[in-house]
Amino acid sequence: MTPRQYKSLARYVRSVANDLGLRDWTFDISHNPSDGTALAQIECVFGRNLGVMEFCPNWMALAPEQQRHVVVHELLHAATAGPHGYVYRALPSLLGEGAWSAFESAYRQVDELAVDGLAAAIAPMFPIWEGA
C-alpha cells in the first residue's frame, strides 16, 4: 500500500472502531505487512486500549466486502481483549502446561469462529472502505 492508502485505511479503521463503541481505543496501522496466512491481525496491548493492526501484502487485491469483514473481525478482537488478556495471563499457571495447551488450542479456535460469525453478521452494516 502507498502512504496515502495507509492513511486512508487508518481513517476507515478509526471510523468503524468508533461505530463499534471503541472510541477510547487507539489503533496503529503497521506499515509492515502481516507475515502469516491471515488477511490481517491485531495485537492488543494488555492493560491499555491500544491495538496494532497488520494487513496482508495483497490487501489491495481483496474485494471491498472482504476488506470490510476483516477490519470488523479484527476490531471485534479488540472489543474482547480484556477478558482474553486475563485468560492468557492467569490460566497457564493455574492449569499447568498440559491442560493449558489443550485448552488454549480449543479456546483460540472457538474465539476465532465466534468473532468471525459476529463479523459476518454485522459487517454489512458498515460502509465499504474506498481504498484511497
**63-89 confidence digits (pLDDT tens):** 999 999 999 999 999 999 888 777 888
Cα Rg, the chain, nearest whole Å: 15
| Element of type H or E holding 27 | strand 26-29
Q: What is the pLDDT of residue 46?
A: 87
What is residue 59's DSSP assignment?
A: G
| Cβ proximity of 48 and 27 under 8 Å | no
**10-42 confidence digits (pLDDT tens):** 999 999 999 999 999 999 998 877 677 889 999
Report the length, in residues, of the chain.
132
Segments making up each domain of the chain, as ranges: 3-125
Q: What is the pLDDT of residue 36?
A: 73
**Nearest residue to 108 (alpha-carbon basis) of 56, 38, 45, 50:** 38
**Domain 3-125 -> CATH class:** alpha beta
